[in-house]
Amino acid sequence: MGGSGGGGVSGEIAIEGSSTVFPITQRVAESFNQDNPDVNITVGDAGTSEGFVPFCEGETEISDASRPIEAEEIQACEENGVEYIEVPVALDGISVVTNTQNDWAQDITLEELKQIWEPDSQVENWSDVRSEWPDQPINLFGPGTESGTFDFFTEEVNGEEGASRTNYQASGDDNVLVQGVSSDPNAMGYFGYSYYAENQDTLKALPVDGVPVNPNTISSAEYPLSRPLFIYVSTQALEENEAVGPFVEFYLQDGNLTQFVEESDYVALPGNTENETRAQFEDRTTGTIYTKQGKLPGGDIESALKQSK
Amino acid sequence: MTVETRQGQGSGQNLWRESRARNVRERLVRVVLRACAYISILTTFGIVFVLFGEAFTFFQDVSIVRFLTETQWTAGFATTPEDGEFGIIVLAWATIFSTIIACVVALPIGLGAAIYLSEYASAGLRRWLKPALEILAGVPTIVYGFFALTFVTPFLQGTILPGIQIYNILSASLVMGVMIIPTVASVSEDAIYAVPRGLREGAYALGATKREVATKVVVPAAISGIVASFVLGISRAVGETMIMAVAAGALAQLTVNPLESMQTMTAYIVQVTSGESPRGSLEYETIFAVGATLFVMTLLLNTIAYWFVRRFREVY
């Protein structure tokens, strides 16, 4: 274990990627900087896809991701000789939210979500979803195509990654989405759990297929839109940049990870999974644990991590 | 300091003497000044070159006919040129629509303010009112944007327009109108103030009232300057970016309902460039096509204005 990182390291760490993972990494960076003021860490939140572009060109040391790396990105990394360690750091549930003044919608099904969000969706009013809901426009807010949340949601809900209706307020800035939904009674939106948890006074999360979104249902994967969040660490950066190793060790340190994750309003990995995650990094196991179809061998992260050895 | 003084004295002594050093200095100044004049022209050529060069690449993927005739804009969701729609009319209309609303606010108020300042206000009042108006022009546009989003929209929502969406073109355009007032007022006030006193006094001598002098003599005499101020204001509205990006939302839709969100051409460019669209990707290419369209629009506007000002200029 690297302890608190030694306190003596210096260097620059560039991190880009998911705006969902951003709050965790940002917190870690701030905390790490207290002990290691000479390390210059920049954390971006341009989106998962936007993060993998510079990562696979060797321009960033670490990439935040709210979905596993994809075939095209794996190829881009390979072409540039960038090898990486995939480290699951937390669990998230994509929250489907409305305004608190919305007194009609109390829950929603995956089928209805598909009807609303699928390409060329005909849903214009709330009553188009359920006839007992009012005949008022449904104003939609969601992340843009650069977002891992967008990729995951379209895959899970519409059955195909990237397949989505296009006439909604798309923003890569989750705070814009929060502001939009929390000031419009007719709004519906989706984004990471953290942004809902921090704005519970102005947002209402709808249970999906009868399961409410909360740390328990996310952890048990009962909530249908729950998913792991990752950081990807470049092995080249680990060798060449003395600050990267201590930083990731600090990130994953027993006690630290759970605390950072929970402070950012996400759900910590179960204890065993966290240990496997740590082992994954310490053994420098490269590559993704996901199959080509984007599935986890063994069904959950823990067994997938074990199998990857 | 001391060095400067000594130099000053030195050149004073040499003032009447032909010297080589002096000639070189003269020529140097001329070269520097000429460079200043050409640098902006060269920059413009550079911009045009890049803009239309990249736009040309885009039009090889998406035909210019599709660009001009399609009625949806889904460039952000398109992975191939075939599965997206690239109707520039969606973004262009948002720009035109917001400009119209802003002009409805800015042109009458700006002109009214100019007439008041020049014809009615006392000299003392004018001395502090005009700079105060010009301070408005110094407010950064991002501040106007947040003012629209966090004050004007909630205010409209709570009072006369409960159905207005949080991101909407109306608040953004109204605030943009306020932003342009000083431009219009200041430039047209200069034009009105420059109308010779003799014209006014001649009209008074014929028994005209103050209102008649202002509206029937002074304003027509200053019309070319006033139109120039209008065009300047319109150009600012067409090119305005931050207010639209912050307060008007990012929904590219073709509508005439000002209570809904629309995406102007400038706001679209901001949205694409604030992410990291890989160079050469289709989405990256679209911003040059959009930028080129914006360029053509403002060029057209300025050409019309130039023609108008020349045609109607009153020479005294």
Please name the residues in contact with A285: beta carbons below 8 A apart, sequence gap of 6 or more.
A85, A308, A309
DSSP state of A126: G
Total count of residues recorded for chain B? 316
Supply the CATH classification number for the domain A95-219: 3.40.190.10
- Using an 8 Å Cβ cutoff, are A117 and A170 in contact? no
- Using an 8 Å Cβ cutoff, are B241 and B235 in contact? no
The last residue of a domain, from among B61, B96, B117: B61
Other C-beta atoms lying within 10 Å of the C-beta of residue A79: 10
Total count of residues recorded for chain A? 309
Residue B161 one-letter amino acid:
L
Residues B56 and B124 in one domain: no
- Using an 8 Å Cβ cutoff, are A127 and A134 in contact? yes
Domain range for residue B34? 18-61
Residues of chain A with C-beta less than 8 angstroms from the C-beta of B242: none
Residues B153 and B37 in one domain: no
The CA-atom distances, in angstroms, between A289 and each of A237, A295, A302, B26, B193 are 21, 9, 10, 73, 75
Other C-beta atoms lying within 10 Å of the C-beta of residue B55: 21
Cβ-based burial of A247 (10 A; exposed 0-12, middle 13-18, buried ≥19):
buried
Residues B51 and B90 in one domain: no
Tokens of residue A75, six digits: 């190829």
- Using an 8 Å Cβ cutoff, are B199 and B181 in contact? no
pLDDT in tens, A59-109: 999 999 998 998 889 999 999 999 999 999 999 999 999 999 999 999 999
By Cβ distance, the residue of A53, A170, A183 closest to B76 is A170
pTM comes to: 0.79
Q: Which residue intervals of chain A bear CATH 3.40.190.10?
A: 11-92+227-307, 95-219
pLDDT in tens, A256-273: 899 999 998 899 988 888
Look at residue A227 and give its three-state secondary structure.
Answer: strand
Residues B91 and B235 in one domain: yes
Q: B72 lies in a domain?
A: no
- Using an 8 Å Cβ cutoff, are B119 and B192 in contact? yes
The CA distance from B130 to B138, in Å, is 13
How high is the pLDDT of residue B222?
A: 92
- Using an 8 Å Cβ cutoff, are A91 and A269 in contact? yes
- Using an 8 Å Cβ cutoff, are A129 and A123 in contact? yes
**Is pLDDT above 80 for A1?**
no
Write out the DSSP string of A50-119.
Answer: HHHHHHHTT--SEEEESS---HHHHHHHHHTT--EEEEEEEEEE-EEEEETT--S---B-HHHHHHHHST
Side-chain-side CA neighbours of A207 within 13 Å: the count stands at: 8
The CA distance from B288 to A147, in Å, is 23
- Using an 8 Å Cβ cutoff, are B241 and B188 in contact? no
In the block, residue with structure tokens 């997938």: A304
Prediction ipTM score: 0.72
CA-derived radius of gyration, chain B: 25
Mutual angle of helices A271-282 and A244-252, in 10-degree steps? 170
Strand-pair category, A62-65 with A226-234: antiparallel
Tokens of residue A173, six digits: 């800035």
Number of structural domains (chain B) is: 2
Residues of chain A with C-beta less than 8 angstroms from the C-beta of B276: 16, 46, 50, 53-54, 146
Residues B111 and B47 in one domain: no
- Using an 8 Å Cβ cutoff, are A91 and A226 in contact? yes
- Using an 8 Å Cβ cutoff, are A136 and A186 in contact? yes
Residues B48 and B119 in one domain: no
Residues B54 and B183 in one domain: no
In the block, residue with structure tokens 């022009």: B137
How high is the pLDDT of residue B38?
A: 93
CA dihedral A233, A236, A238, A239 (to 10 degrees): 170
pLDDT in tens, A145-184: 888 889 899 989 998 888 899 889 988 888 889 999 998 8
The CA-atom distances, in angstroms, between B122 and each of A205, B125, B131, B207, B209 are 61, 5, 15, 22, 17
Residues B165 and B33 in one domain: no
Query: Which residues does chain B have with pLDDT short of 70?
Result: 1-18, 275-280, 314-316
Any idea what the CATH number is for the domain that residue B225 is in?
A: 1.10.3720.10
How high is the pLDDT of residue B53?
A: 92
- Using an 8 Å Cβ cutoff, are B194 and B218 in contact? no
Residue A50, phi-psi category: left (phi > 0), alpha (psi -120 to 50), beta (remainder):
alpha
How many pairs of residues across A and B have Cβ atoms under 8 Å apart?
54
Å between B180 CA and nearest CA of chain A: 26
Query: What are residue B274's phi and psi, to 5 degrees?
Result: -80, -20
Helix %, strand %, coil % for chain A, to 5? Answer: 35, 20, 45
Other C-beta atoms lying within 10 Å of the C-beta of residue B151: 12
Query: What are residue A70's phi and psi, to 5 degrees?
Result: -105, 165
- Using an 8 Å Cβ cutoff, are A301 and A269 in contact? yes
Residues B166 and B86 in one domain: yes
The CA-atom distances, in angstroms, between A197 and each of A95, A112, A215, B286, B296 are 9, 23, 10, 37, 47
The CA distance from B66 to A7, in Å, is 59
> Cβ A16–B261 below 8 Å, yes or no?
no
The contact set of B with A (CB < 8 A) is: 72, 74, 76-77, 79, 149, 153-154, 157, 165-167, 249-253, 261, 271, 274-278
How high is the pLDDT of residue A8?
A: 72
Tokens of residue B101, six digits: 């609303």
Nearest chain B residue (CA) to A119: B77
Residue A88 one-letter amino acid:
P
By Cβ distance, the residue of B72, B261, B275 closest to A50 is B275
Which H helix or E strand runs over A12?
Answer: strand A11-17
The CA-atom distances, in angstroms, between A189 and each of A81, A95, A146, B165, B263 are 39, 8, 17, 14, 19
Other C-beta atoms lying within 10 Å of the C-beta of residue B140: 8
Other C-beta atoms lying within 10 Å of the C-beta of residue A57: 14
Residue to test with chain A: of B71, B72, B73, B77, most A Cβ within 10 A: B77
Other C-beta atoms lying within 10 Å of the C-beta of residue A104: 12
**Is pLDDT above 70 for A302?**
yes
Residues of chain B with C-beta less than 8 angstroms from the C-beta of A52: none
Q: B3 lies in a domain?
A: no
Residues B295 and B154 in one domain: yes
How high is the pLDDT of residue A4?
A: 45
Residues B101 and B246 in one domain: yes
Residue to test with chain B: of A169, A179, A181, A186, most B Cβ within 10 A: A169
Domain A11-92+227-307 is in which class?
alpha beta
Residues B43 and B114 in one domain: no
Which H helix or E strand runs over A17?
Answer: strand A11-17
Q: B35 lies in a domain?
A: yes
Residue A59, phi-psi category: left (phi > 0), alpha (psi -120 to 50), beta (remainder):
alpha
Q: B30 lies in a domain?
A: yes
> What rounded mean pLDDT belongs to chain A?
88
